[in-house]
Amino acid sequence: MSSIYQLEVKMIKGVIFDMDGVLVDSEEYMCKAAVLMFKHKGLTVKPEDFIPFVGKGENAYIGGVADKYNFPVDINKVKALTYSIYEEIAEGNLQALPGVFLFIEKARKRGLKMAVATSADKIKMDVNLRNIGLPEDAFSATVNGLEVRRKKPYPDIFKIAAKKLKLLPEECLVVEDAVSGVEAAISAGCKCLALTTSFKKEDLSKAHWFSNTLEDAPDVALNW
């Protein structure tokens, strides 16, 4: 005779965090660094010029604005200069966003593997994680923009992160704040929790769950 009691089997086995807008808000400093870099190169740009390229990696973030003004650049050189400026102005000024440590602790207590997957280059990832007190070894895996040829909204970065965690994408929750990131997560086959730190909820409508920050994230996002 079958038992009336059934063991609840959960699908979720891992959490993949985007970095900017999820763990830390570094957009102000990155934008300022890019504006200063272009000024150093002799071009005046506006902060709003960068908005369409948020979440798509620094090649698109810087290169997209350069293209807008028909301003030819050596992307590797100007990116290196931007990161140098960024590290100087961001050092000591970055803080983890609300709820980050609590959410990570909840995930850890549930036995979930965790990864960071960011379109930013490794140097920016290291600066950000170090400044908010979450060094790279706080996670089971990390993926940075230098490891991914096709950037978001392509799903590659989250598929790579899941593989590094030795999980299927379908077993992972992605925490994102950008439209391109939500699209990438869904395309990868992951569940997605969208934070409205950078975009409005209606812009992130493809996600499964929503919250303002990780501080008020719905508990169901870690229990499915």
- Residue 189 belongs to domain with CATH number: 3.40.50.1000
Beta bridge pairs of residue 17: 116, 175
DSSP label of 152: T
**pLDDT band for position 8 (cuts 50, 70, 90):** low
**Spatial distance between the Cα atoms of 182 and 99, rounded to a whole number of angstroms:** 20
At residue 1, the pLDDT reads 46
Q: Is residue 1 part of a domain?
A: no
The more confidently predicted of residues 5 and 201 is: 201
**pLDDT band for position 14 (cuts 50, 70, 90):** very high
Number of domains in the chain: 2
Q: Residue 18 catalytic?
A: yes
What are the backbone angles phi and psi of residue 105, rounded to the nearest 5°?
-65, -40
Q: Which helix (H) or strand (E) holds 69?
A: none
Residues 43 and 108 in one domain: no
Q: Is residue 6 part of a domain?
A: no
What are the backbone angles phi and psi of residue 23, rounded to the nearest 5°?
-95, -30
Active-site residue among 18, 25, 49, 177? 18
DSSP label of 16: E
Q: Is the pLDDT of residue 88 over 80?
A: yes
Residue 79 buriedness (CB in 10 A; 0-12 / 13-18 / 19+) = buried
Task: Please measure the distance between the N-terminal and C-terminal CA atoms of the chain and give it in whole angstroms.
Answer: 28
Active-site residue among 20, 49, 156, 177? 20
